[in-house]
Chain A
Amino acid sequence: MAGEKRVCLSGMGVTKIFGFGRTRTVAVDHVDFKFHEGEVVSIVGESGSGKTTLAKILLGLINPTEGEIYFQGQKRDIRTHRKKQEYWKNIQAIFQDPFSSYNIFRKIDSVLMDCIHMRGGRWLPHAKKVEMMAEACRFVNLKFEELTNKYPFELSGGQMQRLMIARIFLLKPKILLADEPTSMIDACSRATILDYLMDLRNAIGMTLIFITHDIGLAYYVSDTVYIMERGRFVEYGSADEVILRPKQAYTRRLISDVPKIYEEWDLSTV
């Protein structure tokens, strides 16, 4: 299945080392990967295995110590600010902690307005912009009239994360990196966030790179799964392959760590 589709993002020997000497940490250790257009890829690993670091490398927010990244078949070039801006029209992210993802001094309107401007809508009439923002909010079941002139910290964690999805709705990137988007919010909101994320993927047909420590969740959403242990990809393949027939002890441990309820709910439905 994967072979027929075009590769949109791939990497060879990608490595990130923090610090020197005693404080030296190899956060990402020579990983190779190929993400295909339109698929949902999960990167699963326990906390501290280097998932966020890899995500930031993929986003171009930090430079890898070693290795190459290829974007749409070509070596990624984001050396100038202009090229970075161009790259970020294609790849966007939702971060783990919604409470620290927003600038507390800027209103919600300006967060959404930035997205319209980034898509070249700077000169649109104001009414049109408001209509676009309202539509994006409606998509995640928020009311723009209630959000306008408010600050992000006045919202709940779940609402903030939904606003993040609304942001992606406006930006319509080719690739979305979601770094544990549900881990910091209350359990009730998790399922809805996940649903909106999947709806959005279907609506704009983007590639979704889903980062999680919960292998049950990965199984539930993804086509392809990469298992990450201490900076390395120890196993990868289709979701069924990896989770139903795990080869590595680490993967088996991750599966056994999933609470029983998930196991019954997910694995018994196959």
Chain B
Amino acid sequence: MRHTLRQIFRSGKFVVGFSIFMMILLIVIVYPLVVTHPPLEIIGQGTFFPPGIYVSTYDAINAPTTYMLNLTDAAAKRVANKLKNEDRLAMKEWMVAAGVPESEIDIADTESLLTLWKRHYDPNKRMEGMTFARLRYYQRVNAAIEGLLSTEAAIIAAKNRETGALEEVSAVKQTDYVNISEVANVRVLALGTDNFGRDVLTELVRATGVSLQIGFVAGLIATLIGLTLGLLAGYIGGLVDDVIMFFTNLFTVIPGFVLLILISFSIGQDKRGAFTIATVIGLTSWVWTTRAVRAQVMSLRNRDHVNLSKLSGHSIPYIILTDILPYIASYVVMALILQISSGILAEAGLSILGLGPRTTEVPTLGLMMNWAMIYQAPILGKWWAYLPVLVTIALITFSMNLMNTGLDQVFNPALRD
């Protein structure tokens, strides 16, 4: 036993797969202990906020201490943030059209560009062939660069309660900084928010946990059924084998996924909990485990150690449990791993079709994909809503298949190098 384990952990493929899987498992377990926000809490008003660190503007202004930093490139960065390169090119285009000689315009020199622009720009002048949208664009650019080079402080004012007049409270200078750790409200949204305004990362971790559980339950059910039927059909043979193989063939002819869709559909939306779905997946995917186990058992049942066990007076259940099962145990573990990973995929497939678990309580990887598809995240380019989900599904399946290949190399001498 210990020897086998050592051999397994010497297989590179298994170790890589196992490490990835354990990492995922560790994140699923540890993350909720550190980040305690409810995974399905709607925090964003609006959809698909991009990933980043969100700092409360109000709290930043009201931070207890302001620090003064004189950074030489601060002004340049501030300008660059509002005046992109394509805006500069557009400004040049406008001015050339307005008759300014091209040699006079230097788009790299912000100051001269702005002075030139101030002198020539007329918001109402419409060039020949210029669309109305383009006209509006220039008006917008003009508004944005208004006061861009000003070095004045921004004034914070509050309404006077009696008169309603604005009164200056404080001024924020351009050299004022706050330390982010002194800002009361900062929220890191590493993967932004989804279509409902929920934190994608927190949701993803929870969904991974739920999907793993679904896969595990489905895989366990499928493997238990498949193992039991395969052992009985393979060892006892005769009529028992015929009956079991009849049902197995029946389920082979109807593709498992179609059956899954039909059953999920007929259960109805409100009864479809995560574990109902897991059970249904398990109940529709035992077929190939049955076949594989049966084939293995049939090749084992005529071996001499089984004959010797019979001659020693052991009963059929005893022989199945001690002379057959241990010999196929490694195989069953491999089948279980594959069933778990295909269970996770089945849930994802089902949910993308809108037949997954009901949506109010827990997220699953499939449901997250489903939501992202419905709200057109791929078309809108909101990659953070679906790409991490796909990567997670791929990583789980990849790691499990890698573990399986590793196990196969250890247990199957023909594949050993």
Q: Are A85 and B308 in contact (CB under 8 A)?
A: no
A114's contact among B305, B312, B326, B327, by CB below 8 Å, is which?
A: B312
Pairwise interchain contact A61-B310, C-beta atoms closer than 8 A: yes
Q: Give Cα distance in the complex from A132 to B47, angstroms.
A: 81
**B316 vs chain A, min Cβ distance (A):** 7
Alpha-carbon gap, A208 to B307, bound state (A)? 19
A88 in complex: contacting residue of B311, B326, B327, CB < 8 Å: B311
A95, B314: Cβ atoms closer than 8 Å: no
CB pair A93 B311 closer than 8 Å: yes
What 1/0 flags go to B260-278 for Cβ under 8 Å of A?
0000000000000000000
Partner of A106, one of B310, B315, B322: B322
Q: Is there contact, CB below 8 Å, between A103 and B323?
A: yes
Partner of A103, one of B305, B311, B313: B305
In the assembled complex, B82 has its CB within 8 A of some CB on chain A: no
Q: Chain A residue with minimal CB distance to B323? A: A103
CB-defined contacts of B311 to chain A, threshold 8 Å: 59, 61, 88, 92-93
Q: Are B322 and A103 in contact (CB under 8 A)?
A: yes
Give the number of chain A interface residues (Cβ < 8 Å). Answer: 25
Pick the contact of A118: B307, B312, B327 (CB < 8 A): B312
**Contact at B312–A95, with CB atoms within 8 Å?**
no
A95-B304, A102-B305 given; A118·B313 CB < 8 A: yes
Picked from A92, A100, A106, the residue with its CB within 8 Å of the CB of B304 is: A100
In the bound complex, residues from chain A placing their C-beta under 8 Å from that of B118 are none
> CB-CB contacts of A55-78 with B at 8 A, as 1s and 0s?
010010100000000000000000
Could you tell me the distance in whole angstroms from the C-beta of B164 to the nearest C-beta in chain A? Answer: 88
With CB as the reference atom, state the residue of chain B lying closest to A91: B311
Does B409 make an interface contact (CB < 8 A)?
Answer: no
B303 interface contact, C-beta 8 A: yes
CB distance from A101 to the nearest CB of B (A): 5
A56 touches B315 (CB 8 A): no
A115 on interface, CB distance cutoff 8 Å:
yes
A61, B307: Cβ atoms under 8 Å? yes
Q: Which residues in A have their C-beta under 8 angstroms from that of B304?
A: 95-97, 100-101
Q: Is B309 an interface residue (CB 8 A)?
A: yes
A114 to B305, CA, bound (A): 14
Q: A81 an interface residue at 8 Å Cβ cutoff? A: yes
Assembled-state Cα–Cα distance A32/B315 (Å):
32
Report A256 CB to chain B, min CB distance, Å: 32
**Is the CB–CB distance between A56 and B313 below 8 Å?**
no
Known: A61-B310, A104-B305. 18 other contacts (CB 8 A): A56-B307, A61-B307, A84-B310, A85-B313, A88-B313, A92-B311, A97-B304, A102-B305, A102-B308, A103-B308, A103-B309, A103-B326, A105-B326, A106-B322, A111-B312, A114-B313, A114-B314, A118-B312
List B residues at the A interface (Cβ < 8 Å): 303-305, 307-316, 322-323, 326-327
Chain A interface (Cβ < 8 Å from any Cβ of B): 56, 59, 61, 81, 84-85, 88-89, 92-93, 95-97, 100-106, 111, 114-115, 117-118
- Of the A-B pairs whose beta carbons lie under 8 Å apart in the complex, a sample of 18, sorted by A's number, is A56-B307, A81-B315, A81-B316, A85-B313, A88-B312, A93-B311, A95-B307, A100-B303, A100-B305, A103-B309, A103-B326, A104-B305, A105-B326, A106-B322, A111-B312, A114-B312, A114-B313, A117-B313
